[in-house]
Amino acid sequence: MSYFQFLRENARWLSAGLLMTFFSIYGQTTFISLSAGDIRSEYGLSHGEFGSLYMAATLASALTLPRLGQIVDRYSVAKVAMLVIPMLAIATVVMAVSHHVVVLLIALYLLRLFGQGMMVHTAYTGAARWFSAQRGRALSVVILGHNAGDAVMPIVFVTLAGLVGWRNGWLLATATLLCMALPLTTWLAAVNRTPRKSDPTPRHIDARDWTRAEVIRDPYFYFLLLAVMAPSFIVTVIFFNQVYLVQLRGWSMEAFAASFAVSAFVNSGFTLLSGQLIDRFSGVSLLPIVLLPLGAACVLLGMVEGQWGAFAFMAMIGVSNGLSTTLFGAVWPEVYGLKNLGSIRALIVSFSVLGSALGPGLTGYLIDQNVSYPGQIVAMGVYCVAISLLMLHVSRVLARRVQAAAG
C-alpha cells in the first residue's frame, strides 16, 4: 500500500489522533513556559519557586494518570475525548483568571494532566489499537500534530499576548478547544477502526498480552524507563528555562520563538522516517540510537553562545523528537502486547510526566545556587550517551524474549 493510499483510506482516524496531539500543546512545557516570565513577575516568584510549583503540579498529574489513563481500555477514543478536551479547556480558563498561587497550582495540575498527559495518551493508544502492520506509519502521522503545534502556537501566542495580554491569550486557547478540537475530534473518532484483513502482514510480532502487575515486576521495564524519561526531562528543562537561557546568552526572544519552526520542520521529516523504520525493523531494534541526537543537541546548546546555536539546537531536537516520540509510542505493544495497553501506557506516561516534573524543580534550585546552567545541559547530553550504550543490551534481550514467546 502506498503512503498516499494509506493516508486516504485512514484519514478519519489519523486526523482524530493528530488533532489531539496538536491541541495537547496547551499542556506542554513549550507553551506554558511562554507565560513563565509574566507569571514570575505577577506572583513574585523566583526561578526556583516557580520551578518547584511547576514540579508539584506535574508530580500530582503523574500520580493521577495511572488510574485515570485506564479509561482508554474501557471506552472508545471518542468518549474519552468528550471528557478530556473539556477538562483541558477548563484548565486554560483557570490559568487565565488565576490571581492566587493556589489557583495557579490547580491550573498547572489540570494543564499537565489533561494536556501533556491524557490528550497524548489517548491519541497514541488509539493509534496503536487501530493499526497493526502500519502502526509506526500511523503513529508518525498522529505525532505530526505535536510538530504543527510547536511550529504554530509559540509564535502565535507571543504575538497575541503582546496585543491582548497573556491572560487573554489563554482565553483564546479555551475558544479553540471548545469550538474546534472538541467537535472535530469526537466526530472523527465516532467510528471505531480495527485492523483489517486487507492491511499488510506485520513484519514483526507483538508480545503476548502482559498485565500491568506483570509489567511492574519486569526489570527491563525500568531499564526502558531510563530511556523514556530522558527526552521528557531534558526537553522540559530546556524549554521551561528558555526565557532564562535567552537572557543568559543575550539572544532575541522573538528569534528563539521563531526557531521552533525549524524544530517542527525537521521533526516532521524524521517522524515520518521513523514510522517507516519501525514498520520495517521494529521499535525494539532502534532503541540504541534513539537518544543520540538528543545528546548531541544538549552538548551543542551547552557550548555554543551565538544566536545560530539556537537554530542548530532546534534542528537536532527535531531529529530527536522525530525518532523518540514515534519509537516510544510503538515499542510498548511489541514488548507487552495490546490487551492492557491503555493501563500500561498510562503507567509509562506517568513516569515520563514524572521526569518532566523533576526537571524544572531541580534545575531551578541549581540555578538559584549559581550552578552553571550550560554545564547542566552538557551533563544531560552525557547521560543520553550512557543510556544509549545500555539500550544495546536491552534491545537484544527484548528481541530474544519476544521471539521465544512466539516460538
Output the pLDDT for position 197.
Answer: 58
DSSP single-letter state for residue 75 = S
Range of the domain at 80: 3-406
As given in the structure block, the three cell numbers for residue 6 are 494509506
pLDDT (tens place) for every residue of the chain, 407 residues total: 567 788 888 889 999 999 999 999 999 887 898 888 889 889 888 877 888 898 889 889 888 988 898 898 889 999 999 999 999 999 999 999 998 999 999 999 999 999 988 999 999 888 888 887 788 888 888 988 887 887 788 888 888 888 999 999 999 999 999 999 999 999 999 988 876 655 665 555 666 778 888 999 999 999 999 998 898 889 888 887 888 888 888 888 778 878 877 887 888 888 888 888 888 878 888 899 999 999 999 999 888 888 888 889 889 988 988 888 888 878 888 888 877 888 888 888 788 877 777 787 788 888 888 888 889 999 999 999 999 999 999 999 988 887 776 66
What is the rounded distance in angstroms from the CA atom of residue 141 to the CA atom of residue 17? 8
What are the strands, taking DSSP E only, across 290-383?
Answer: none
Q: Give me the sign of the Cα torsion angle 128, 129, 132, 138.
A: negative
Output the pLDDT for position 202.
Answer: 55
Residue in 326, 314, 315 with CA at minimum distance from that of residue 287: 326
Output the pLDDT for position 401.
Answer: 84
- Chain centre distance of CA 223: 19
HSE value, Cβ hemisphere, 13 Å, CA-based, for 327: 26
Three-state secondary structure along 193-221?
A: CCCCCCCCCCCCCCCCCCCHHHHHCCHHH
Name residue 6's amino acid: F
Overall number of domains in the chain: 1
What is the rounded distance in angstroms from the CA atom of residue 310 to the CA atom of residue 107? 30
The helices-and-strands tally (H runs, E runs) of the chain is 20, 0
The CATH number of the domain holding residue 247 is: 1.20.1250.20
